[in-house]
Structure 1
């Protein structure tokens, strides 16, 4: 069997955070559904969270013994240990490439990409990088200098010039959204699903306590008495601190949260914002201002410029938060024809990536 006729094999390398990992898993799931003959091999790092996310998606990755960037280590001891782990990871990645014999590899940025990139380049395997953020990370900038193909989730990938990247969008999961009542029940919430506006808050743990406090304060005001605020991944078990506020533990099945929501409050991770865009859900975006290279603020700007979205930061104050929520509720569903609209295009994003990696002859 020739290389051209045998089933394709691909490595998808993503680690660090869910912002890198979920796009890889989403693309892999799309490949399994649409190109079942293709063999997908995932690669991740050794952090427990990484393996937890893959396990939740019922995927078994090859685990490299690296858990962070040598440049970000605390003190020379940790930096040296991470450098040793990076070298060991290169050895394991090289063995994987040699044994698996992939036709292509797609890495999703971050420190984990480096050993896979090096192993593929040495073996002559085509390797491209997907950048989920509108502001390119260090590894993405290095990959660009090496002449690698860069696929961007947004119309910009600063500081790269437009000719150095191809916009594909961020691969996202293919959601089948339940009806609100079904989602309410599936999430284990008591009583009947509310009839007024439902705000689902998915801001993670990145400095989000202040955001939660401000939203809970807003929930108690007269203007929001008929609204319901549901916070994901902020409690060990379901809690109801006030009549219209629910606190949930981590929810792996995000379709339930999206099925419940009239609007979202989100951090500005590229994957989550793309999910909101594809599903057509309006969102108040709260960028984490301590993100590397301020990439979350760049993501928020890119999202708000093409979708039903607004931006609020903790420095803007409570009155601006209240005003933004009211305005967002008023405009939802009115702007469906913008040039960058991703509504319903989750499958098209993955198709674009596949076509770039395996162009038709």
Structure 2
């Protein structure tokens, strides 16, 4: 079996695409070719994975008419030709697209050549590329039930498969959880709250967290591990040390955690942004979340993710514009001090998770090929 996998621009598209590629390589002994762009993150990430990698020239469409718009259409034309040439040479049995503008020319040329196409939407609110491709794709996988309504015009094609990243969390063992907590010096008997500010950090989340540390230091109900992001780490640690806070008060800091799944699996409450991958992980684990969606992402899709979780009783959304130290601390405390509410939120979170996502995607693709 030969499979073209495509997707790019952000890790939220690339890592799930690689998870799918790896699954098919293992289960079907498939030959994988990944198509991306030279300028996207995939040009660095994918070659490290060991999969064959080819590039096409294409860029995202700007919202306003300008010289860049003309260049975009020129690149799209070039990308279509390049994608067609690659498909003709590789002769795949199926094309799998995981989001990002690079998918459009590949999926379109696959359709022109009669190659079955599966596209996967990671967020609750579908991106422009997947919405545009929904009519020509043969099957559409979605990560969350909340995304189905946006594909009502092609509902017969839609499969609620889950996010591929969710399948990774089921591999975490209790021993993995214990080891990572011991590594960070955490108390194995206390409830744990994890604040994640993102790989590069988010100043509003950092400011709110720093502002509530006095309250955290005074209480004994939970410990806090604060992942600041590399950029802000030194400044945050300096401010914490100036206040005299540290592990003795149940306050721990890390710039970044590369293997975060064992830590998440041992978390009672997560405070974070509301990216699709994060949501897939925490719902597969059944973790209640306090979500502060980034207002700076395309189509404001993080707010749609967070609002859906809040409406389902699996989390609480705080808009960045409303975020204060007092509000963040009070929200955490109200959950910690109400075990029944926290347990119900865990139950609802787990009910939304789909840890068998990769198996579901595999089945959907194989059914398509039949």
Give yes or no for TM over 0.5. yes
Contact 1:229 1:245 in 2 (8 A): yes
Decide which of 294, 300, 317 is 1:288's aligned counterpart: 294
Decide which of 255, 261, 264 is 1:248's aligned counterpart: 255
Contact 2:201 2:229 in 1 (8 A): no
CA distance 1:56–1:245, change in 2 (3 Å): farther
The answer on 1:107 being equivalent to 2:62 is no
- Cα displacement string for residues 305-350 of structure 1 (whole angstroms, at most 9, x for unaligned residues): 446321111233423322221233344444565597145x42x222
Structure 2 CA distance, aligned partners of 1:307 and 1:278? 15
The answer on 1:69 being equivalent to 2:60 is yes
- Cα displacement string for residues 71-126 of structure 1 (whole angstroms, at most 9, x for unaligned residues): 258x8343333333333322332222112211111112221111111220121101
CA RMSD, aligned part only? 3.1
CA distance 1:163–1:124, change in 2 (3 Å): closer
Unaligned runs of 5+ in 2: 241-245
Structure 1 CA distance, aligned partners of 2:330 and 2:129? 39
With structure 2 as the length reference, what TM-score do the two structures score?
A: 0.80
The answer on 1:213 being equivalent to 2:221 is no
Q: How does 1:63-142 map to 2 (within 5 A)?
A: 63-66=55-58, 68-72=59-63, 76-142=66-132
3-state SS in 2 of match to 1:98: helix
Contact 2:17 2:98 in 1 (8 A): yes
CA distance 1:237–1:313, change in 2 (3 Å): closer
3-state SS in 2 of match to 1:71: coil
* 1:233 match: 229
Tell me: higher relative CO, structure 1 or 2? Use CA pairs within 8 A at least 6 residues apart: 2
* 2:333 match: 326
Higher deviation after alignment, 234-243 or 81-90: 234-243
CA distance 1:246–1:339, change in 2 (3 Å): closer
Higher deviation after alignment, 275-284 or 45-54: 45-54
Deviation (angstroms), 1:133 = 1.5
* 1:5 match: none
Structure 1 CA distance, aligned partners of 2:309 and 2:299? 17
* 2:243 match: none
How many residues are matched? Answer: 344
- Cα displacement string for residues 170-194 of structure 1 (whole angstroms, at most 9, x for unaligned residues): 21151333544522566xx5xx323
Which runs of 4 or more aligned residues in structure 1 lie more than 6 Å from their structure 2 counterparts after TM superposition?
236-239
3-state SS in 2 of match to 1:42: strand
CA distance 1:237–1:211, change in 2 (3 Å): closer
Decide which of 8, 26, 36 is 1:15's aligned counterpart: 8
Deviation (angstroms), 1:237 = 6.8
Structure 2 CA distance, aligned partners of 1:201 and 1:215? 8
Higher deviation after alignment, 140-149 or 329-338: 329-338
- Cα displacement string for residues 220-260 of structure 1 (whole angstroms, at most 9, x for unaligned residues): 324556522321533387773421241414x4433254255
Structure 2 CA distance, aligned partners of 1:260 and 1:51? 34
The answer on 1:150 being equivalent to 2:160 is no
CA distance 1:283–1:335, change in 2 (3 Å): closer
Structure 1 CA distance, aligned partners of 2:219 and 2:25? 44
The answer on 1:302 being equivalent to 2:308 is yes
